[in-house]
Amino acid sequence: MATFKQGGNDFPAIGILPGKAAPGRNWARNAMFAAVAIALAACHSAGKQDKPDSSAAASVETGRGEDASPGARAQAAGALLDKSVALVQQGKTEEARAICDEIIRLYGEDASPAMREPVATALFHKGWVLGSQGKAEEAIAIYDEVIRRHGEDASPGVRGQVAKANLNKGWTLMRQGKTTEAAAILDELVRRYGEDASPAAREAVAMAIFNKSEILMKQDKTGEATALLDEVVRRYGEDTLPAVRERVAMALSGKGMTLVEKQSKAEEAIAAFDEIVRRYGEDDSPGVREQVAKALFSKAWTLGSQGKAGEAIAIYDEVILRHGEDASSGVRGQVAKANLNKGWSLMQQGKIAEAAAILDELARRYGEDASPAAREAVAMAIFNKSEILIKQDKTGEATTLLDEVVRRYGEDDSSGIRETVARARDRKARLSR
């Protein structure tokens, strides 16, 4: 918790640090890892194009028959996979998993080359869905099935699915705290697929190196971890695949945070954040845009940590100016955080009226936003506004805001929001004494 001073009085207001892990990426309480897994994506294999629902349904029916051509069967499997992904996005994970099982039942023994990738993809999707349901052991068993069935397949598309299965198996083991097993899997993935040219394999290898660096970082092997982050940049710095560009940006960001948090090298950290903006500032991929916004946010936070509040505010303003109208959930979260920390910095400067206006606008604009970072920023903004009111002897209004934090977010499972709710309850209790 950060403290602000105005006229000799302390403000127990709070700001967001750039290194906070996203919900779902915490391995254990007080042991946050920024490790990443490959999520689901729509299937466009076998020449399949996006179709309206009626056309996709027709493809499925055409491809079910025993006499259907390999191309028709591949299109049918692809349409089913896309339906499964859509159901996941709607939160209907049981239905999504049932469709994966249907693909495996229909085509699991199909010997045609065109069907191997859709079947491997369906298994991977099933593993991912099980993991998203908190069924880690079942997910690992399915990832193992992908590897067992398809591990020796020479097809680039299938090799990519096997690489992804290894990556997500390692990630799942990391979440279970089995870091030695996870590290071995990640090392083997890089050894086996490090020279693979397929897009899915390149993405998996870049993520595997990044995740191994996270293991080393938690083991306080900062030098080895940083070397791996540099390796991601060296191997993939010129890669044109959006998902890989995102991993390169993440590696540079991770290096920057390591420099500032573990080595107190703020200037070198800022250089790493600037490099992300230089490389990817005009990139139109949502994931990369989020990393650019995050780099700017991290630069601002670093400047603020050096007592350069004015410079920090200027960079927070740049995040807001560049990305304020971005519709991407991840980017919106970074903008919300920038507004929160701008208000936090203004409080440090004693500019309470300006800070209060920004906090009010943040809560108004992002109050219904579903992104985890935005929700956390709004909860903190309401709490910080209550602190301003307390210092203005407006205890009743402050208590109302503290109650609002608890009412809105009392059941939220995000660790950051839970901390803010706990602070709100504690603050109200102290006001009542």
Look-up of token digits 């090392």: 187
What Å distances lie between residue 36 and 167, 184, 203, 312, CA to CA?
9, 16, 11, 28
CA distance 359 to 371: 18
CA distance 130 to 151: 21
pLDDT the model gives residue 413:
87
Considering its fold, how many domains does the chain have in total? Answer: 3
31-32 and 4-6 beta bridge pairing: unpaired
CB 84 within 8 A of CB 100: yes
For the record, the structure tokens of 229 come out as 């982050």
Give the tens place of pLDDT for each residue, 81-99. 999 999 988 989 999 999 9
* Per-residue DSSP letter, 20: P
Give the tens place of pLDDT for each residue, 147-177. 999 999 999 999 999 999 999 999 999 999 9
Which one of 97, 114, 134 terminates a domain?
A: 134
* Per-residue DSSP letter, 22: P
CB 378 within 8 A of CB 339: no
CA distance 142 to 119: 12
Question: Are residue 335 and residue 394 in the same domain, yes or no?
Answer: yes
Question: Are residue 375 and residue 316 in the same domain, yes or no?
Answer: yes
CB 244 within 8 A of CB 203: yes
Which residue blocks in 108-241 are alpha helix, DSSP H? 113-132, 136-150, 156-175, 179-193, 199-218, 222-236
pLDDT the model gives residue 112:
84
Buried b (16+ CB within 10 A) or exposed e, 143-173: bbbbbebbeebebebbbbbbbbbbbbbbbbb
- The answer to whether position 360 is within a domain reads yes
pLDDT the model gives residue 35:
64
Q: Which domain holds residue 72?
A: 46-134
CA distance 233 to 317: 28
Q: Along the 433 residues of the chain, how does pLDDT read in single tens digits?
A: 444 333 333 455 666 667 543 323 332 223 335 566 777 665 544 334 444 444 444 445 444 545 578 888 889 999 999 999 999 889 899 999 999 999 999 999 888 888 999 999 999 999 999 999 999 999 999 999 999 999 999 999 999 999 999 999 999 999 999 999 999 999 999 999 999 988 999 999 999 999 999 999 999 999 999 999 999 999 999 999 999 999 999 999 999 999 998 889 999 999 999 999 999 999 999 999 999 999 999 999 999 999 999 999 999 999 999 999 999 999 999 999 999 999 999 988 899 999 999 999 999 999 999 889 999 999 999 999 999 999 999 999 999 999 999 999 999 988 899 999 999 999 999 998 7
Residues 6 or more apart in contact with residue 41 via CB below 8 angstroms: 85
- The answer to whether position 150 is within a domain reads no
Question: Are residue 312 and residue 433 in the same domain, yes or no?
Answer: yes
CATH number of the domain enclosing 328: 1.25.40.10
Amino acid at 212: K
- The answer to whether position 119 is within a domain reads yes
pLDDT the model gives residue 16:
65
9-11 and 4-6 beta bridge pairing: antiparallel
CB 199 within 8 A of CB 158: no
- The answer to whether position 140 is within a domain reads no
Question: Are residue 428 and residue 312 in the same domain, yes or no?
Answer: yes
Which one of 109, 134, 159 terminates a domain?
A: 134
